[in-house]
Amino acid sequence: MFVLLLKIILEKTGWTQCLVVCSGLLLAGHVATAGVYQRAKDGKTLIWNNFPAAGDMVSWSGKRDSNGYATGAGTLTWYKAETTSQTGTLLPTKGRPAVITRYSGTMVHGKLNGPVRNVDADGKTFQFTFANGIKTLGRPPETAASDSRQEERISENPKPPAEGPVPSAALQPFKQQTPKPKVDQTRATSPSPPVKPRSPPPVESPVVEVASIHSTPIPAAPNEDDLGVAVKERIIADFKEETRTVFSQVGEATDNFRAVERFDSVAKLPAPVSESVGSLVQRARDFRSKVGYETALRQFRTETETVDALSAIDQINRSIAANDGSDADAKATDFLKSNPEPSADSERGLWQYVTSVRQLCSRLEKDADVHLQRAQSFAAASRTSDAIREYQEAYRIFPNPDTAEKIRQLQTNSLGL
């Protein structure tokens, strides 16, 4: 197939261009194995990117496996952020992502495999075959018939030998042969010297040296170890970037981790922020499983602690918003017991927030306990109304499900239900 392609290029372009194109084709064969996994727009699915570049974005319509890699049938859509200028300035800025191309087919471990239907940005449709994420065959449907006829014409020429860099028979006509002079047999016995026929002037023509093409130095393809390092570095960079992003979102939602002084000033994190925290926690679990828990704790201690603190704040705020001070107190206590001090100054705001919740819960619980003891005394003396009033005051100070249940039981008993 390579020789057939070579002949077409020779007929269309000439020798110099042929050598350049062939060298490019050989180089492309090696470069095609380079690439990295990147996260899809959902932040969860891993997709193989053969040629990573700044601004690459991708979405996947199908499923992902237990390790987060895209799998099964679906459509892969690649985007690129358009570069525009800010209004009234010449400063570049990123616009809305534009669709570059779509691939519909089957994914295995985040890579396309088998027949793939491709629709480019202009709406043109192509059919390709992929193997382990690498394109191996493809042609536009509208040109398939003409390509078939071209291959039939080319196949009439003899095929090149299977081994060795020797030029094939199909390429021999390009090397001009000097005709041998004919000898007149009727005058061979004549004493006069034979007349030497005049040879035609030599015609300079290029000689195909297939060996010279194969001898062109080609950079070695990256081995699996190199690719493994690249993928690991990409995972680390993505994890750090997502941690910084979610840290900023939670900081904005909590007034820069301002210390909590009253329960009624605390609300649940906004739904998108809470979802981002949950996604980051899952990413951290995957990250720890890939690099190893001990490695993550040793080399990425700050990021690991930050994720745990952000998760604790999300859960604490949920508990307070649900009027469960006891649960908020328990979550703050558990976190501070496992993480007494932050390992970096950038985390002090997180610790200040959780510590303030713990201190507030401790103080309010003591204040509420006074009313709880009174309520129990009134209840024992069958002074139900006084007991309910004291329980309600305790609940106002330090709300929790146990006190709410006491109030419900007394109200039910007082009604004779």
- Paired with 76 in beta bridges are 60, 103
pTM strictly above 0.75: no
CA distances from residue 253 to 257, 271, 275, 405, 414 in whole angstroms, order as listed: 8, 11, 13, 32, 44
Share in percent of the chain as helix, strand, coil (round to 5): 50, 15, 30
Domain ranges of the chain: 37-140, 227-365
CA triple 97-101-102, angle to 5 deg: 110
Give CA–CA dist 60/243, Å, rounded.
Answer: 23
Tell me the average confidence (pLDDT) per consecutive run of 10 residues in the chain, 417 residues long: 50 50 45 70 87 82 89 89 51 66 91 89 83 67 43 42 40 46 47 54 49 45 57 84 94 94 93 94 86 79 92 96 95 94 91 96 96 95 94 96 94 75
Residue 130's pLDDT is what?
85
Could you tell me the end-to-end alpha-carbon distance of the chain, in angstroms, rounded to an integer? Answer: 90
Residues facing residue 56 across a β-bridge: 80
**What span, in angstroms and rounded, lies between the C-alpha atoms of 107 and 118?**
14
> Is 309 strand, coil or helix?
helix
pLDDT value, residue 331: 96
Return the pLDDT at 226.
52
